[in-house]
Structure 1
């Protein structure tokens, strides 16, 4: 029996936040925003159909793939309660309404099926999510407090900074869970490791210790570590756990194997013989209802009836029979997804921009399309981030190239630099999109001539 709308928890949680959630619609220039957090980035075909229907009926028909492997609906009108009710009926909400903000755990979109994984982390991930939903103390965490867990997959987002990151590693023939604080496995080594059967206990202890130690204004792990330092945090953590933390130099000196580049695009073999995963990029992170419906229908016809959203703003179909992978790729392309890494638009990300955000200084989406066309015509494909302001909402880590809007249609150009903070090294100021394209094309030709 369907629960009546009046009995459902549609009000926002007690803790104020500017971040949208499923139960809290946040206003923007183009209407309300609703963010749907997906466990491990996974959504069933039936749920995807519900998202498409909700976006079409109660919003402006814009669905965004986020860089945390979630979905959000933009342009929500006056009947937000009906939109929320439709999503709840589809099982897209939390089991505990108070936990909507804190279900921030990122897994690889190929967790459990990646040939390079050393561990299927999905069972551990499920336990962590269950605790985030049902442990009242953890609901005090900030909506921005985020965790990541990887099992050594070849396809994994390793560059996004997380308050707590975890990686499976093998030391002396034993599989352990190494972890770090306020960083990422692409740049940092673990501070310690625990056995698999104590990993869940460690996660809860880390989160509770953070809440015990942090002041109200310290909402992220990095804020707390500025005061007490990582070494002191690990000391306090060890005192809370019944099992010792392993800080062997082989662990604290361990480096995560780099992830495969562009493996979220095209066809990837799976661990399971005869099966593949097939992926395509959502152009500039924007899905139409028809695109989502087509992809959902395809998942039923050719895969396992689920979609895996990725932190690269793309969609993957898992468990596609190898002999049907080509057809799946063609169908994704026909649905409007970008299925080739050589397509410049597949490597461009852009925030909402001035078209829908009051803080945006330029229409970044429109400018990104112009830039992609310029690069395409010259055979150049490069990872580029267009940001309408300094908040950098569209990118969770620094891109190789960043265009920071300074006015309508004009940008400062930055190149990522290990020794420069923020976006990196400033290359040129106040460029038009045409000038940016010319410079990047010239740089590309210069580097290939060397």
Structure 2
């Protein structure tokens, strides 16, 4: 497999504000296509559903230490970024990742963008465990030549019925409805297709194929780029499923009851007797080598050798003995991970900022650290420029570096944000952020 991999390439950043167009080329970085940043090369390793074995997690940590800046960076899709890489390390990185099983198909390595409910099958809240869907969909993607034409931005969502990852705005989403059926959603439309649960992953792949057919005429990378946001795609998929003998029914979309924003930090109890899961956050989405080893060691020696990376830049360690869960969580806290809701890092995120990004106007990670005491119910995201790379969805506090200061606003979907300009020292900025984080009425 490794011998067939193309030589790793380094791409330059796409120009800001350029329209989505297949003529421009998909500049989304991958594990075999490195991105050139100010702090070195960057690799983005797709981790479908955020699921990592301890062996694969160790391989990522080792690559970060020996080839990059030593840190493991999580993305808003539960993928891993390795930063500060040497420009000439591409072949060695590909060999390391391939040997660990992180590159099952070179042509598909950038399109394996699948998020799944991180606590599915662990806490008893979801309608069903979407783990089997995840395994099947990833296998189908890697085996389908046409799927390799999807962009590195295209997103599959597998929601177990609790409504957490459904809120992330997938291009193709499967929502567990009950033990026998799933709802297929394309884009963010209000129509869905009820399909048999056993057919759900194949229906999702068919939906992506239908998107590609439409995208070939429009140059779209994502469903939202299509005229009418993919009107008619759901009908086309329904027609093809019925032709295959599958009983499908059109339905209306409804938000999941008890919709959540992802797992909180701490101990997660569930339905397995004597077991629990640990949920920890990574400050600003980064784990030092020591913190990453602490997570891997906990999964290996306390759990079943598994980590689940979340789209909220956290990590879940399943199947920890309940009687030792508090001690294990405390050890992660001592390593500097976020393990309690009252941590000053809870709900705080930031892009890479200076000096890693040439577009950034500020060292926003340092700004976020200086204002870490500005706690409140709303999450806050710090951006070094107007692009807001990696920002969350829903309602959040938006802090953007601008010439001479920052703009602070509360973003609510469907409502225009009204920024407040803050200039001067860190105390004034912290006060403005704290006030915004409490503005949740």
TM-score by length of 2: 0.89
Question: Does residue 1:81 correspond to 2:91, yes or no?
Answer: yes
8 Å contact 1:10–1:84 — kept in the other structure?
A: no
| Deviates most, 13-22 or 285-294 | 13-22
Are 2:182 and 1:177 equivalent residues in the alignment? yes
> CA shift at 1:91, angstroms?
1.5
Q: Structure 2 CA distance, aligned partners of 1:169 and 1:71? A: 30
Shift of 1:418: 4.1
> Alpha carbon RMSD of aligned pairs, Å?
2.5
Residue 409 (structure 2) aligned to one of 407, 414, 418: 414
Structure 1 range deviating more: 262-271 or 11-20? 11-20
Aligned mates of 2:194, 2:300 — CA distance in 1: 40
- SS for the counterpart of 2:109 is helix
Equivalent residue of 2:76, what SS? coil
Change beyond 3 A, Cα 1:8–1:143: closer
State the partner residue of 1:64: 73
Work out the CA distance in 1 between the residues paired with 2:166 and 2:201.
Answer: 21
Structure 2 CA distance, aligned partners of 1:444 and 1:241? 46
CA contact (8 A) 2:8 2:90 kept: no
Give the whole-Å Cα distance in 1 for the aligned partners of 2:122 and 2:438: 39
Distance 1:445 1:299, change over 3 A: closer
Instruction: Give the Cα separation in 1 of the matches to 2:5 and 2:209.
Output: 29
Q: TM-score, normalised by structure 1?
A: 0.87
Equivalents in 1 of 2:316, 2:123: separation in Å?
13
Tell me, which stretches of 5 or more residues in structure 1 are unaligned?
A: none
Contact 1:283 1:338 in 2 (8 A): yes
CA deviation after TM superposition for structure 1 residue 180, in Å: 1.8
| Alignment-derived partner of residue 193 in structure 1 | 194
Partner of residue 146, structure 2: 137
Give CA-to-partner distance per residue, 1:305-355, whole Å, 9 cap, x none: 111111110111100111111011101112220111112312110001122
**Structure-1 residue corresponding to 2:235:** 235
Q: 1:442 to 1:311 in 2, by over 3 A?
A: closer
Distance 1:56 1:445, change over 3 A: closer
Deviations 1:252-293 (Å, cap 9, x if unpaired)? 153312344563310111221221111111010111112111
CA distance in structure 2 between the aligned counterparts of 1:136 and 1:22, rounded to whole angstroms: 19
Q: Distance in 1 between matches of 2:262 and 2:225?
A: 33
Distance 1:442 1:99 in 2: 45
* CA distance in structure 2 between the aligned counterparts of 1:371 and 1:22, rounded to whole angstroms: 34
Distance 1:418 1:17, change over 3 A: closer
Unaligned runs of 5+ in 2: 12-21
Return the offset for 1:84: 2.3
Cα-to-partner distance string for 1:141-163 (whole Å, 9 max, x where unaligned): 11101110111248x33321111
The whole-number CA distance in structure 2 between the counterparts of 1:307 and 1:75 is 24
Aligned 8 A contact 1:112 1:121 in 2: yes
| The 10-residue stretch of structure 1 (237-246 or 385-394) with the greater mean CA deviation from structure 2 | 237-246
Identify if the C-alpha distance between structure 1 residues 415 and 308 changes in structure 2 by more than 3 Å, giving closer, same or farther.
same
Greater helix proportion: 1
Q: Are residues 120 and 444 of structure 1, via their aligned partners in 2, closer, same or farther at CA, if it must alter by over 3 Å? A: closer
Please give the alpha-carbon distance, in whole angstroms, between the structure 2 residues aligned to 1:254 and 1:7: 45
Structure 1 167/361 Cα, relative in aligned 2: closer, same or farther at 3 Å? Answer: same
Q: 1:14-413 counterparts in 2 under 5 A?
A: 16-77=25-86, 78-93=88-103, 95-153=104-162, 156-170=164-178, 175-183=180-188, 189-214=190-215, 215=217, 217-226=219-228, 229-230=230-231, 232-242=232-242, 243-247=246-250, 251-260=251-260, 263-373=263-373, 375=374, 380=376, 382-407=378-403, 410-413=405-408
